[in-house]
Structure 1
Amino acid sequence: MLYPQTFDQKNWMLCYYKNDSQSVQILKIDNTEDWYFEKLVDPEERLVFEAPEMAQLQIHYQSASDYGVVEILPCYQLRVRYGLESEPVGRPNLKVVSINRSA
C-alpha cells in the first residue's frame, strides 16, 4: 500500500525489485518525511515502484533461524537504468505500482 501525503515531487526515481526468495516478503519505506510505502511481495514477483531519491527499502522476511529479518537497501541501488544492463520489464508477473502525486 502507498500512503502519499504532501511531499516534494522532485528527486523521485523509478525502482525495480524482484523477490528471488521462496518466501513472501514485506517491503517498506518509512525513512522519508510525509510518505510511507508498504507492499507484500510473493516469491519470484517483480515490482516496479516510484520512490524518493534518499529512500531506503526495508525487506522483511522469515528465515529458518530467525523471524522478521530485515535487510535494508538504498533505493538508488534499485533505480531503473535504461539500456542493455536492465532486466526486461515486459514479463507476465510484473506489477507496476504508481502513485498519484497531485495534492
Structure 2
Amino acid sequence: MAQILDPLPPKQSGKILCCYINATSKIQVARISNIPNWYFERVVFPGQRLVFETPRKGQLEIHTGMMASAILSDKIPCDRLMLDEPSTDEFDPDSSDGKDPFNTKPMLQLLNTKTEDTRKPLQVGSFASVD
C-alpha cells in the first residue's frame, strides 16, 4: 500500500522510483534529509521492502535501532536504489516479437491428468502388547 504523506516539493525535476530492502534483523529508520523543504522518514521492519519516489539527487540515510538509540549505519545515493523502468517497446502490443512481457506463464495449470485408477489398499500396522 503506497503511503504518500509528504509529496515531493514543487520545482523538483528528475524524480525517480527507488526500492530499499531491510536485510537485517533490526528495525531501521530510512530518512532523506538533503532535499530542502521536504520531509521523508519511514520505519522499515526486518525483511520489509520500501518503495519510494524521490528527486534523483536524494540521499537515503539508514539509521539502525538499538535499545534506546539509533545509529547512522549507511548513506546511499538514491540513484543506486533506482528501480529499472521498462522501455516503451516492452509495452508496445505491436512489437516485432509479438510476445506479452507480463503474461509469459499460462494462467491455469492442470494438477492431475492421470485417468487410471489410483486407489490402493490401506495397509494397517499391527500393535503388540508388552507386559
Scaled by the length of structure 1, the TM-score of the pair is 0.68
Which of the numbers 57, 60, 77 marks the counterpart of 2:60?
A: 57
Q: Which runs of 4+ in 1 moved over 2 A?
A: 1-7
Given that 1:15 and 1:50 are in contact with CA atoms closer than 8 Å, whether structure 2 keeps it comes out as yes
Structure 2: state its 5+ residue gaps.
87-131
Structure 1: how far apart are the matches of 2:75 and 2:5? Answer: 19
Greater Cα radius of gyration, structure 1 or 2: 2
Given that 2:29 and 2:65 are in contact with CA atoms closer than 8 Å, whether structure 1 keeps it comes out as no
Matches within 5 A, 1:32-51: 32-51=35-54
Structure 2: how far apart are the matches of 1:63 and 1:5? Answer: 30
Code of the residue aligned with 2:84 in structure 1: it is: R
Q: How many residues align?
A: 81
Higher strand residue share: 1
RMSD: 2.2
Identical-residue share of aligned pairs (%)? 36
Scaled by the length of structure 2, the TM-score of the pair is 0.55
Which of the numbers 5, 20, 25 marks the counterpart of 2:23?
A: 20
